[in-house]
Chain A
Amino acid sequence: MPIRTLVKKNTYVDSVSLMTVSSRANELVGVHQAFAAMGTPMNKEVLRDLSLLTEDLEQADTGDLMLVIDTADAERSDGALEELEALLEHKRPAAGPHEETTYKTFSSAVAANAEANLAVISVNGAYAAREARQALEAGLHVLLFSDNVAIEDELALKRLAHDKGLLMMGPDCGTAIINGVALCFANAVRRGNIALAGASGTGSQEVSVRIDALGGGISQLIGTGGRDLSEEVGGLMMLDAMRALEADPDTAVVVLVSKPPAASVEAAMIAEAARMEKPVVVCFLGRSDAAPAPPGVTFTHTTDAAARAATRLAGASGDRPQPPEPDLAIAEAARTRLHREQRYIRGLFCGGTLCDEAMYLALERHADVYSNIQKDPDRRLAAQAPSRAHTFLDLGDDDFTNGRPHPMIDPSTRIARLRQEAEDPEVAVIAMDFILGYGSHDDPVGAMLPAIADARERAAARGRHLEILGYVLGTERDRPRIGEQIDKLREAGVSIAESSTHLGLLARELVAEGSA
């Protein structure tokens, strides 16, 4: 039984590293057992019991580190000891891209990762503020994925972060890309000189993939959390993000993405944007203020227009043609197959902002637009209520996700709703988004295809054509690839929109005749 030992004089290595090194060394090829321990009398006694106490280990002092390796054969022993030493030299051997280390507490994670400067927190909302505060106190930027955090806590956390010069992204922040690292739900977009600050997760994702498709790239994507631009929070994080992006040397153009902010907050954001030296594109969906944009600021009312404006300002050129208008022939062809009573759009969305965008575009043409996220209380639908006229449902909203996974991960809620909508003889088109990227379902289209086929068969059995209009949010670098997902949809007879904006435009065009 070849045993090699080494005593490292006066060597203090923290416990976490010591235990990690021992565990890793035990997994080395050809190693029966390996360990690293301080040279205390009791540890030496354990070695003596096992006939492992060599003469040099006997001489080890309490401040010395003992390394012992027991290999299958003599030839392996020298190499294995060197590997054990190398593990120790690197203390915590670098984790590979697919390795994970689990920590039971926040403090142990911080202690073991001194170089970390950002914490992603996804715990029950009741505990989320406490964890976020702890992270900020430890000097870490925070992405708080959790929702159901009290607004008072959100304010306190954002003020604390501001005072410390840190980012407090969230609560309810679903996406970010910081220095090229995608966090939570984000897409594999190319790096570039356009930065996004977004109070809407899927809206930011959409603008980022549109920029990517237009040939631009993303320097940073800072999520703020959905309530940041409310009256109560006052856009604290958005303002800090704008200042950080103004100072970011990799950023040339800044895009602000949000659902409509509170009026006073919107004014503050635009004033700050006007103060910035870098050009700013503002995309506040559903914004009705027709005031002209101040110098250096570009107002856009769709995500597609925001991406185009930013790409143009950043000097990026498209690597494939991206028509600004949708292919209306799709709508015309579908209309010819519809019965007279098929007059309505039903939107079943995973992305809240994508739902919003389609809804606002429909509202430009139609009055009878209902949704679970409608601002008009008379046209707001409860989650369980049946659809009415044109209905756009954000299935990722709290009403639908209470106790269930988000539809970007679990399609079951949307499958059930699709079946219901297919039974309605007044439905002309069902619009759906399919969101790719980190954290999303690994085959969002594949998961829906049987339900789509079933819905169309049900409609056909009643002598109706049911138009399904799909949009895939993603890039060719996402897994699965966007092209692969689009091909599957096309094979299933689903019409494809090129962007979230086009999805809304095509849907409303499809019911342009005979609608209310």
Chain B
Amino acid sequence: MLRAEAVSGDAGLVSRLHAGGFRARVHSVFQRVVNLECATTGRLYTLACAGVDNAPSTLVLDARTFGNSGVRPGARVECDGRTLVSESALAVSLARAKPWVATLPEWPSGDMPVLWLRELIDRCGTRGGIKRGPAPEPPYEAHLTRRIGDATSSLKAALQAGELSAAYEHGTRLIGLGRGLTPAGDDYLVGLSTICSVPGSPVGRLRPVMARLVRDSADRTNDISHAAMAHAIEGRVRESIAELVDAMARDDDAGMQRWGEQVIGIGATSGTDILAGMLAGLELSEAERN
């Protein structure tokens, strides 16, 4: 049995688990992450290994890997308020779980560093999602890249023009589009939603259409990716993304570099795709302010 200790976790989740009576089933198992599906609400929660950053609905453990732990999809999960247990494979003590709250900063009075973010993506971004892969690509990849490019530029143009119905349509064409577990289109929308959700954001008025887009898309992508989008539009994002936005708002060069690189490290191309969505949000904000 893998015995672990929860180090930190989303404050809401920690509080819910401490209340006891939590029941779930294991939704999916990865090397460093296990997703749980709540038996009563159907919501997804995540158990993550050490080194994975805090995130909405996530509990970070001191464990190094779930590989060979015996935790299996479909297994029952229960929590009595002190220990979360999955059959005979996993026992997580909650005694020292430090509550964490995702907080986005206020929009700054000055500009956000659009140029820096564009350069970061150019310099360090991973190709294969929003950022084009090295040519020549196989026909499927080439067509996928073309469709992602068309949909993102059309969405951005429609949002800038204030054509919200068209934006909704173009956004729908992005959801579930891409190869990864969280498709590139979804990740891009996470980034864009993040910028829309920053308190005082010049593009805050776009939040309702983005929220509707996400709300209506539950059957267009997988549960895990949809949950990330649903959290982002509420301003609930991974710690590295929140810290990056905070560093950009404070014009903190070292913080921007540190957290920017951390975000790029998310998934395969997911981090870069999220940054591309954030860049689109910043560009729209800049256009809005001018």
CB neighbours of A36 from chain B (8 A) = 179
Docked CA distance A50–B35 (Å): 34
Q: Which residues of B contact A104 (CB under 8 A)?
A: 124, 126, 261, 264-265
User: Using an 8 Å CB-CB cutoff, how does the interface string of B211-226 with A read, 1 for contact, 0 for none?
Assistant: 0000000011111100
B52 near A111 (CB under 8 angstroms)?
yes
Min Cβ gap B157→A in Å is: 19
B128: nearest chain-A partner, CB-CB:
A19
The smallest C-beta distance from A11 to any residue of chain B, in angstroms, reads 9
The answer to whether A288 has its CB under 8 Å from any CB of chain B is no
Q: Which residues of A contact B140 (CB under 8 A)?
A: 33, 35, 46-47, 50, 52, 68
Measured CB to CB, the nearest residue on chain B to A49 is B143
Chain A contacts of B27 at CB under 8 A? Answer: 12
Quick one: closest B residue to A36, CB to CB? B179
Do A38 and B51 have beta carbons less than 8 Å apart?
Answer: no
Q: Give per-residue flags for B107-149: 1 if the beta carbon is below 8 A from chain A beta carbons, else 0.
A: 0000000000000000010101000000000111101100100
Whether the Cβ atoms of A26 and B176 lie closer than 8 Å is: no
Question: Given the complex, which residues of B lie within 8 Å of A19, measured CB to CB?
Answer: 128, 179-180, 268-269
Interface residues on A, range: 35 or more
Knowing A111-B32, A130-B258, say if A37 contacts B179 (CB, 8 Å): yes
CB neighbors of A among B258-277 (8 A): 258, 261-262, 264-271
Complex contacts, A40 vs chain B, CB 8 Å: 175-177, 183, 220-222
**Residues of chain B with a CB closer than 8 A to A107's CB:** 51, 261-262, 265-266
Complex partner residue of A105 from B139, B183, B224, B264, CB under 8 angstroms: B264
Minimum C-beta distance from B115 to chain A (A): 20
**In the complex, chain B residues whose CB is within 8 Å of the CB of A4:** none
Q: Which of B191-212 contact A (CB under 8 A)?
A: none
Flag if A139 contacts B180 (CB, 8 Å): no
Closest beta carbon of chain B to A92's beta carbon, Å:
9
**How many cross-chain pairs have Cβ atoms below 8 Å apart between A and B?**
148
Given A46-B177, A50-B139, do A114 and B268 touch, yes or no (CB 8 Å)? Answer: no
CB neighbours (8 Å) of A35 from chain B are: 138, 140-141, 179
For the complex, give the distance between the alpha carbons of A37 and B141 in Å. Answer: 11
Across the interface, which residues of A come within 8 angstroms of B262, CB to CB?
105, 107
Is there an interface contact between A42 and B73, defined as CB atoms closer than 8 Å? no
B residues less than 8 Å from A110 (CB atoms): 51
Per-residue contact bits, chain A 117-151, to B (CB 8 Å; 1 contact, 0 not): 10000000000001000000111000000000000
Judge if B174 is at the interface, Cβ distance under 8 Å.
Answer: yes
Place the interface of chain B in its size category.
35 or more
Contact residues in A for B261 (Cβ distance below 8 Å): 104-107
CB of A22 within 8 Å of the partner chain = yes
- State whether B144 touches A63 (Cβ < 8 A): no
Residue pair A43, B50 in contact (C-beta under 8 Å):
no
**Is A14 within 8 A of B31, CB to CB?**
yes
State the CA gap A16–B179 with chains docked (Å): 10
Q: Is B56 part of the binding interface, using a Cβ–Cβ cutoff of 8 Å?
A: no
CB within 8 Å of B: which A29-75 residues: 32-38, 40-43, 45-47, 49-50, 52, 62-63, 68
User: Are A42 and B183 in touch, CB under 8 angstroms?
Assistant: yes
Cα distance A115–B63 in the bound complex, in angstroms: 12
Chain B residue with Cβ nearest A47:
B140
Tell me, in angstroms, the Cα distance from A130 to B73 when the chains sit together: 37
Once the chains bind, are B265 and A38 in contact (CB under 8 Å)?
no
Nearest Cβ on chain B to A33's Cβ, whole angstroms: 4
A109–B270 CA distance with the chains assembled, in angstroms: 15
A21 and chain B: residue at smallest CB distance: B179
**Known contacts A18-B180, A19-B179, A105-B264; is A38 also within 8 Å of B65 by CB?**
no
Q: Is B181 an interface residue, CB under 8 A from the partner?
A: yes
- Assembly CA distance A165 to B163 (angstroms): 58
Q: Is B103 located at the chain interface by the 8 A CB criterion?
A: no
A106 pairs with B265, CB closer than 8 A: yes
The complex places the Cα of A441 from the Cα of B48 at a distance, in Å, of 43
Write out the residue numbers on chain B whose beta carbons fall within 8 Å of the beta carbon of A384.
none
Contact A63 to B223, CB < 8 A, known contacts A13-B181, A38-B183, A42-B185: yes
C-alpha spacing A34/B27, complex, angstroms? 27
Q: Is the pair B144, A46 in contact by a Cβ cutoff of 8 Å?
A: yes
- Which chain B residues numbered 1 to 45 have a C-beta less than 8 Å away from chain A? 27-28, 30-33, 35
| Distance between Cα atoms of A492 and B266 in the complex (Å) | 56
The smallest beta-carbon distance between A71 and chain B, in angstroms, is 13
Q: How far is the CB of A294 from chain B (nearest CB, A)?
A: 39
Nearest B residue to A44, CB-CB: B176
- Answer whether A46 and B143 are a contact pair too, CB < 8 Å, given A32-B138, A62-B222, A115-B67: yes
Query: Complex Cα distance A255/B128, Å?
Result: 50
Please state if A12 and B30 are interface contacts (CB–CB under 8 Å): yes
Could you tell me the distance between the alpha carbons of A378 and B147 in the complex, rounded to whole angstroms?
A: 73
| B268 near A63: Cβ-Cβ < 8 Å | no
Interface status of B285 (Cβ within 8 A of chain A):
no
A103 to B183, CA, bound (A): 20
Report yes or no: B181 in contact with A18, Cβ–Cβ below 8 A.
yes
Interface flag for A317 (CB, 8 Å) = no
- A15 to chain B: which residues have CB within 8 Å? 179-182, 267-270
Bound: A14/B267 CA distance, A:
7
The reply to whether A105 and B221 form a contact with Cβ atoms under 8 Å apart is no
Is B64 among interface residues, defined by CB-CB distance under 8 A? yes
Contact present for B185 and A33 (CB under 8 Å): no
Q: How far is the CA of A504 from the CA of B222 in the complex (A)?
A: 69
What 18 additional pairs, Cβ within 8 angstroms, besides A103-B265, A137-B51?
A15-B267, A16-B267, A16-B268, A18-B179, A19-B269, A32-B138, A35-B140, A40-B220, A50-B140, A62-B219, A62-B221, A63-B223, A104-B124, A105-B261, A105-B264, A108-B264, A114-B67, A130-B258
Interface pairs A-B: 4 shortest CB-CB: A40-B176, A15-B180, A138-B51, A108-B265
Seen from chain A, the residues whose Cβ lies within 8 Å of a Cβ on chain B are 10, 12-16, 18-20, 22, 26, 32-38, 40-43, 45-47, 49-50, 52, 62-63, 68, 103-111, 114-115, 117, 130, 137-139
- 18 inter-chain pairs at a CB distance below 8 angstroms, sorted by A residue, are A14-B33, A15-B180, A18-B180, A33-B138, A33-B141, A35-B141, A43-B144, A43-B178, A62-B222, A104-B124, A104-B126, A104-B264, A105-B261, A110-B51, A114-B31, A115-B67, A137-B51, A138-B50
